[in-house]
Structure 1
Amino acid sequence: MAEQYAYDPANGVSDQQPDQAAYGDAGLSPVPVNGHVSPAPGSTNGDATSTNGAAAGINVIRKTLASWVGFSNLPNQVHRRSVRRGFQFVAMVVGESGLGKSTLINTLFEDTLYQPKVIPEPGADRGRTVQIESINAEIEENGVRLKLTVVDTPGFGDFVNNDECWKPILENIEARYDAYLEQENRVNRLKMTDNRVHACIYFIQPTGHALKPIDIEFMKQLHDKVNLIPVIAKADTLTEEEVDLFKRRILADIQYHGINIFQPPSYERDDDETIQENHEIISKIPFAVVGSDHIVSSPDGRQVRGREYPWGVIEVDNEQHCDFVKLRQMLVRTHMEELREHTNDILYERYRTEKLQAMGVAQDESVFKETNPAAKQAEERAMHEAKLKKMEMEMKMVFQQKVQEKEQKLKQSEEELYARHREMKEALEKQRLELDDKKRRIESGRPLTPEKGSKKRFGLGK
């Protein structure tokens, strides 16, 4: 007997629906599964219709089934498998020290992932490079396990000279891509760990003016490697008008410099409520956030997470006070899977393609490709001519190289002969001068001075 299950997100369990007979006889409504409604058994909706498949070049036939088959239960099967395996998510937080990165992460997941940091002494060594630190945690909610990794970057933007301070961060992201690519190339790929960075939350200092050069350069270097999510840190230091003006200036700088930031995608079959939620989230980017893991009393006596000031209380979970709720909604509740998919399908694939092309791996376009024989022959002729031309160029290069080597040898021999000729000429000239000197001495009647070291002696009585 066929059965259908529909997942109820309110309680996190699957509700069993009546079987096929009860489904039709009782007159029950079809059960929506992930936004799609499976037709009731016995219902017909006309003949087969052909849809326009011009994009793929194939005519796709859509037909409404007269009975319930069961493949509409596939989303529930995927859900059960996903719950069994659990999920992995890697978030990176980048920003200057003191902007509340650790506090915001603790507030997002309502857990103490980051312990209070020890403030170093004034004379202590604070280091001179950007460090990369990771915190791993496994959290569970309603039976769903999430393996969370938070990558922190202490030291970013904290030095007098911040030249290329983003380089260690970029190298860490690329190293994670390389590790995943290496896992894909293994023979056994059963146990693959996804440690790629799925989201980078970039904290902007609440100056109220515009992006600083270090902010612009960082986002330009990383926007095509990771999903950038800009947030205005400690937004409670700005007034509402200053926040609105600051957001407009940030978006103007981002657009001017061609920086890509993550925005919730829209799909053709999204309902009006989902479309409205996405518009609300997009309208809040960059998110002006306030983080706090302390419980305070509001003026009306409620216990809320927030920050208490002499003039009032800032509530973290109040959308009228900050954009933390919208950030958490996009990052965790509604678009975490989109962040993972965009990382895998777009960012990682782009990096993988560039990496393989740099290694000399070429894409074979001939697989399952319909070709015209004449065009194929012309292509082969062009390839043959190109090959001959390449061989001709290589032969010319080899010939020129050999000619140059021969000329170099001849030139070297010529120089050696010229040097020997010059030495012999100098020796002959020296001998001529000595002979001329001896001749003059003989003609003048003066005795010849013996050379030093000569054993010849002139005299009588021998």
Structure 2
Amino acid sequence: MSKFSDNKYKMRSLELPPPPPPHRKGGAKTPSFDRDRDYIGFATLPEQVHRKSVKRGFEFTLMVVGESGLGKSTLVNSLFLGDLYNERVISKVEERIEKTTRIEKKTMDIEEQGVRVRLTIIDTPGFGDSVNCEDSWRMCTSYIDEQFRQYFTDESGLNRRNIQDNRVHCCLYFIPPYGHSIRQMDLDMLRRLQKKVNIVLVIGKADCLTKTEVQKLKKRILSDLEDNHIHLYQFPECDSDEDDEFKQQDRELKACLPFAVVGSNVILEVAGKKVRGRQYPWGVVDVENQEHSDFIKLRTMLISTHMQDLKDTTQDVHYENFRAQCISQISQHALRERNKLKRDSVSSNGLDQNETDRLLLQKDEEIRRMQDMLTQMQEKLKATHLKEMKMNHSNNNSDSVIDV
């Protein structure tokens, strides 16, 4: 059985670098009340949306999947400068023989420069720890579907003003640094997750590999993923009006996939400067040094540049696919009820014919409405996929369409 635990933390200061100023075209500013000026005023719409969004706050859910000992908890603490796992107890070896995957949910409220984010971390202790790991994937996929189902139920209800979004927006999947490539267990897990959530691969504890070994491992992992037709989260293409610095940053992020990271909760002093790193007999591994680790690139992608795109992809692709499946099932169920009602009306003499016709018409109308909704959603998914194909300029992306 799954075990859910919800611990709340509040952090009022977060020592992350300030975000870059928003890119504006035309230099639109809030106008003064000047009647002599030829000014309509709709250029302030971005400021209005910004104020409303900041007041409402943001939500982001991150799932962390991987076997024990790969530095998942340490990396999460390093990313968000917190301590979410100070009360965790490491289980003994005897307890891992029949250990099953559990779900642990932790939330923390982060406020930075007046912007509030409700961050939810979904951890999966026990994944890959058992002798028989065939069903390790089941708990993860069930949790993702459960959150989609809850959101679909809330969205279909009467009160939709304050819907809480607990859908998983990103999954950090950890690959062990040992071995020559990705394991079969990981391939099976990724194959089941790729159509449900945005997957970002992370090579944990990369400081045990040399630079050459890291590059070889990355190439082998990407080759195995391509051979097994597994598609991860695709970075969106930059717009033509973006500045050169942002385009260069986007190219560097795409080039270092999968991310080889090192995490640490220890603050060390090196040459009079305090750094977050790991002490070894031969020296210090600086977590935030891009020559030692891809930690900065991962944090930049996850928080500074692609957090909103991860949420949009979850809404427009993964959730829409789940919603289409739900509507299709409802439509099929209504069709079966309609046929059953028709058979019962034929066999029963006590049922009024006019009442039977009225019920049949209601069922037919409900089925037509469900089929129209399903057709619209399928066209929307196809249009979204065609747009991604044009942006990525790849002929192999046709396999990433989620079949309904």
Question: Which TM-score band applies after superposition, normalised by the shorter structure?
Answer: 0.7 to 0.9
The answer for the alignment partner of 1:163 in structure 2 is 134
Describe the shift of the 1:364–1:356 C-alpha distance in structure 2 as closer, same or farther (beyond 3 A): closer
Aligned match for 1:362, one of 363, 367, 371: 371
Aligned match for 1:34, one of 2, 17, 23: 23
Aligned match for 1:278, one of 250, 268, 271: 250
> For residues 366 and 259 of structure 1, what CA distance do their matches in structure 2 show?
27
Gaps of 5+ in 2: 1-16, 30-36, 332-369, 377-404
Q: CA RMSD in A?
A: 2.5
User: CA-to-partner distance for each residue in 1:306-340, whole Å, 9 max, x for gaps?
Assistant: 00000010001110100000000000111111111
Amino acid at match of 2:121: V
State the shift of 1:228 in Å.
0.1
Aligned match for 1:259, one of 226, 230, 234: 230
Q: Report whether the alignment pairs 1:72 with 2:43.
A: yes
Q: Which has the larger radius of gyration?
A: 1
Q: Report whether the alignment pairs 1:292 with 2:264.
A: yes
Describe the shift of the 1:203–1:80 C-alpha distance in structure 2 as closer, same or farther (beyond 3 A): same
Describe the shift of the 1:236–1:116 C-alpha distance in structure 2 as closer, same or farther (beyond 3 A): farther
Amino acid at match of 1:295: I
**Partners of 1:38 and 1:72 within 8 A in 2:** no
Greater relative contact order: 1 or 2 (C-alpha under 8 angstroms, separation 6 or more)?
A: 2
> For residues 315 and 374 of structure 2, what CA distance do their matches in structure 1 show?
23
State the shift of 1:303 in Å.
1.1
State the shift of 1:262 in Å.
1.4
State the shift of 1:188 in Å.
1.2
The answer for the alignment partner of 1:190 in structure 2 is 161
With normalisation by structure 2, the TM-score equals 0.74
> For residues 179 and 355 of structure 1, what CA distance do their matches in structure 2 show?
12
User: CA-to-partner distance for each residue in 1:394-446, whole Å, 9 max, x for gaps?
Assistant: xxxxxxxxxxxxxxxxxxxxxxxxxxxxxxxxxxxxxxxxxxxxxxxxxxxxx
**What's the secondary structure of 1:37's corresponding residue?**
coil
The answer for the alignment partner of 1:343 in structure 2 is 314
The answer for the alignment partner of 2:111 in structure 1 is 140
> For residues 183 and 125 of structure 1, what CA distance do their matches in structure 2 show?
38
State the shift of 1:357 in Å.
1.2
State the shift of 1:125 in Å.
6.5
Amino acid at match of 1:273: E
Aligned match for 2:53, one of 75, 79, 82: 82
**Partners of 1:34 and 1:75 within 8 A in 2:** no
**What's the secondary structure of 2:371's corresponding residue?**
coil
> For residues 39 and 148 of structure 1, what CA distance do their matches in structure 2 show?
32
Aligned match for 1:213, one of 184, 191, 203: 184
State the shift of 1:132 in Å.
0.8
Aligned residues: 316
State the shift of 1:365 in Å.
9.3
> For residues 329 and 73 of structure 1, what CA distance do their matches in structure 2 show?
28
With normalisation by structure 1, the TM-score equals 0.65
State the shift of 1:75 in Å.
1.3
**Partners of 1:180 and 1:196 within 8 A in 2:** yes
Describe the shift of the 1:241–1:364 C-alpha distance in structure 2 as closer, same or farther (beyond 3 A): closer
State the shift of 1:11 in Å.
7.1
Amino acid at match of 1:362: Q
> For residues 83 and 266 of structure 1, what CA distance do their matches in structure 2 show?
26
> For residues 81 and 374 of structure 2, what CA distance do their matches in structure 1 show?
50
